[in-house]
C-alpha cells in the first residue's frame, strides 16, 4: 500500500464525521500495540483556543533541551504529515506506513465486533502517532487534544502535566451549551495527582476546573495567581514579554504575532518548568529563549511574502475572530486590506463575521474545501450585513486571484482551516498537495 492509498483508506473507511463517545476503542487499540503512549513522558494540552500554539511552544522547549520530541496536532492544513511530527519535522512515509499496518491489524479485528467498536479516523491516527513515537524512541511528547478532552482519543495518556489553555464557546453541539459544561469536558484530561496548568480566567469555567482538580488531588497552576506575564513590546514578528512563574525570565522574545501569544507562551513555559521538575531535567535559560523565538505556527496569523503581504489565520470560531480583530488593529492599522473568507456550516458565521468583516476594504466569500461547507451563499449573505464591499466566488483560488493584483497592502485568508490550508498550499508552493484530490 502506498502513502496516498493509506490516506484514501483512512478518509473513506475511517470517516471523521461520526463521533461515538467513549475511550474503549482507543484503549483496546493501544493495549494491543503494547501501550505505545506509555513509552515517553508527555504534556497533554486542551483548550478552546491556543492549544495548538501551546503544543508547538512546548515541543520546541523540549527539543532545545535535547529531548527527542513527538508532537501531535489536529487538524492538519495541507498534508496529513503535519499531524505527527518528530523534532518538528515530518516522519518518513516508511515509518508512517509501518505504524499504519500495525494499527490496521488491530482495527480490522475490532470492526468485526460491530459498528460501536469500529475505530474512527481520529482514534486510528492517534494510535498511529503513539506507535510512531514508540518506534522512533521519542523521549517527550507534546500532545494536542482533538476535541474536548474527556472522551478524546488522546486521553489514554498519563502525562507529567495536563494543560487547559482556555475555555470558551465552540463545538457546543458536542461539548455543551454552557461554559460550565464545556469546562467539564475539557477537565476530563485532569489526572489524579498529576499537576494541571490553566490559562483560563473566567469565573464560570474556573469553578468547574477547581472542583475537579481538587477531587483528583491535582495541583492547579492558574494564570494570574501562580504564573503571569507582562507585555514589553508588541511589534510585527518581534514581540517581547517578562514571565513570572516557577522561575522568572525577563525580556523573552516570540515571533508569533498577537498579544494572545504571550498567554500561550506563558502557559507552555509554566507547564515545561513543572515537567522539568518532575522529569529531573535541568532548565537552560538560553534554550528557553531559543525555543520561544523559534516557534512558528502555520495558519495562525502566519505571514508570507510582500506586495501584497499575505496573512493566513484560521479564525474559525468567535474567540479566534476576536483575537484576529485585535491583531489587525495592533499590527495593520491604516493599511488597505483585502480578505478571502470561507466558513464551514456548523460554525457561528454571524459571530465571526461581525468581528472581522468591518475591518476589510474588500471581501471575497468562498467555499472551504470541506464536506462541512455546503452553503457558502449563506456566508455571503451574512457578510453583506457587516460590509458592503463583498463579492462571492466559490472557487478559492479564483477568489484569491481576484484580490491579488488590486493594490491591497495585505490580503488575509481566514475562516476555516480547510480554506487556509488549501490556499496556503497554492500561494506558498504554487501547487496543491496531491492529498487534496482525496476526500478529507
Q: Is residue 210 pLDDT above 60, yes or no?
A: yes
What's the whole-number mean pLDDT along residues 350-370?
95
User: How far is CA 40 from each of CA 160, 205, 247, rounded to the nearest angstrom?
Assistant: 10, 31, 25
Q: Give residue 166's domain range.
A: 3-294
30 domain residue, yes or no: yes
Alpha carbons 293 and 324: distance in angstroms, whole number:
21
Last residue of a domain, one of 294, 324, 341: 294
What's the CA gap between 384 and 86, in Å, rounded? 44
The domain that holds 340 is classified in CATH as 3.90.190.20
Q: How many domains does the chain have?
A: 2
Please say whether the beta carbons of 150 and 58 come within 8 A: no
Answer whether 0.75 is exceeded by the pTM: yes
Q: Could you report the per-residue pLDDT of 416-426, keeping only the tens digit for each?
A: 999 999 999 99
SS3 228: strand
Most confident of 133-142, 172-181, 306-315: 133-142
Domain-located, residue 229: yes
pLDDT band at 432 (very low <50, low <70, confident <90, very high): confident
At residue 18, the pLDDT reads 62
Which of 17-26, 216-225, 336-345 is predicted least confidently?
A: 17-26
Please say which residue of 264, 294, 324 terminates a domain: 294
Residues 32 and 151 in one domain: yes
Q: Are residues 258 and 399 in the same domain?
A: no
Q: Which residues, listed in sequence order, are joined to residue 310 by a DSSP beta bridge?
A: 304, 411
Boundary of a domain, candidates 275, 294, 313: 294
Q: What is the CATH number of the domain that holds 239?
A: 3.40.1190.10
Q: Is 437 contained in some domain? A: no
What strand order describes the sheet that includes 390-392? Answer: 302-304, 309-313, 410-415, 337-342, 362-365, 390-392
Which positions ≥6 away from 177 have C-beta within 8 Å?
none
Q: Has residue 82 got a pLDDT over 80?
A: yes
Kindly state whether residues 288 and 335 are assigned to the same domain: no
Whether 422 is covered by a domain: the verdict is: yes
Does the pLDDT value for residue 95 go beyond 80?
yes
Residue 436 CA to chain centroid, in angstroms? 20
Look at residue 440 and tell me whether its pLDDT is greater than 60.
no
Amino acid at each position: 500500500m502506498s502513502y496516498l492509498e493509506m490516506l484514501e483508506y483512512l478518509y473513506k473507511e475511517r470517516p471523521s464525521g461520526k463521533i461515538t463517545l467513549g475511550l474503549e476503542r482507543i484503549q483496546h487499540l493501544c493495549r494491543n500495540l503494547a501501550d505505545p503512549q506509555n513509552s515517553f513522558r508527555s504534556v497533554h494540552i486542551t483548550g478552546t483556543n491556543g492549544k495548538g500554539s501551546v503544543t508547538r511552544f512546548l515541543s520546541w522547549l523540549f527539543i532545545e533541551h535535547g529531548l527527542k520530541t513527538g508532537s501531535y496536532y489536529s487538524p492538519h492544513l495541507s498534508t496529513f504529515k503535519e499531524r505527527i511530527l518528530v523534532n518538528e519535522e515530518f516522519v518518513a512515509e516508511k515509518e508512517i506506513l509501518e505504524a499504519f499496518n500495525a494499527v490496521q491489524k488491530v482495527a480490522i479485528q475490532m470492526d468485526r465486533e460491530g459498528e460501536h467498536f469500529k475505530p474512527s479516523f481520529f482514534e486510528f491516527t492517534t494510535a498511529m502517532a503513539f506507535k510512531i513515537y514508540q518506534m522512533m524512541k521519542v523521549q517527550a511528547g507534546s500532545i494536542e487534544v482533538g476535541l474536548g478532552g474527556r472522551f478524546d482519543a488522546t486521553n489514554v495518556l498519563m502525562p507529567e502535566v495536563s494543560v487547559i489553555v482556555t475555555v470558551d464557546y465552540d463545538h457546543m453541539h458536542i461539548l455543551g451549551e454552557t461554559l460550565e459544561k464545556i469546562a467539564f469536558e475539557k477537565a476530563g484530561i485532569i489526572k489524579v495527582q498529576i499537576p494541571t496548568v490553566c490559562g483560563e480566567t473566567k469565573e464560570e469555567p474556573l469553578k468547574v476546573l477547581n472542583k475537579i482538580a481538587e477531587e483528583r488531588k491535582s495541583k492547579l497552576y492558574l494564570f494570574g495567581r501562580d504564573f503571569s506575564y507582562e507585555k514589553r513590546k508588541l511589534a510585527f514578528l518581534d514581540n517581547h514579554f517578562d514571565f513570572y512563574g516557577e522561575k522568572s525570565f525577563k525580556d523573552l522574545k516570540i515571533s508569533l504575532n498577537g498579544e494572545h501569544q504571550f498567554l500561550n507562551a506563558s502557559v507552555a513555559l509554566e507547564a515545561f518548568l513543572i515537567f522539568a521538575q518532575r522529569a529531573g531535567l535541568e532548565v537552560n535559560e538560553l534554550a528557553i529563549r531559543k525555543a520561544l523565538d523559534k516557534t512558528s505556527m502555520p495558519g495562525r496569523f502566519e505571514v508570507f511574502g510582500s506586495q501584497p503581504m499575505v496573512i493566513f489565520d484560521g479564525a474559525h470560531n468567535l474567540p479566534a475572530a476576536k483575537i484576529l480583530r485585535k491583531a489587525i488593529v495592533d499590527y495593520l492599522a491604516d493599511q488597505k486590506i483585502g480578505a478571502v473568507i470561507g466558513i464551514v456550516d456548523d460554525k457561528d458565521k454571524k459571530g465571526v463575521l461581525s468581528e472581522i468583516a468591518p475591518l476589510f476594504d474588500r471581501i471575497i466569500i468562498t467555499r472551504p474545501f470541506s464536506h462541512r461547507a455546503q452553503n457558502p451563499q449563506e456566508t455571503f449573505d451574512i457578510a453583506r450585513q457587516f460590509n458592503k464591499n463583498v463579492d462571492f466566488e466559490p472557487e478559492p483560488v479564483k477568489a484569491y486571484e481576484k484580490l491579488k493584483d488590486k493594490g491591497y497592502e495585505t490580503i488575509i485568508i481566514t475562516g476555516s482551516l480547510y480554506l487556509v490550508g488549501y490556499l496556503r498550499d497554492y500561494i506558498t508552493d504554487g501547487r496543491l498537495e496531491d492529498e487534496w484530490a482525496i476526500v478529507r
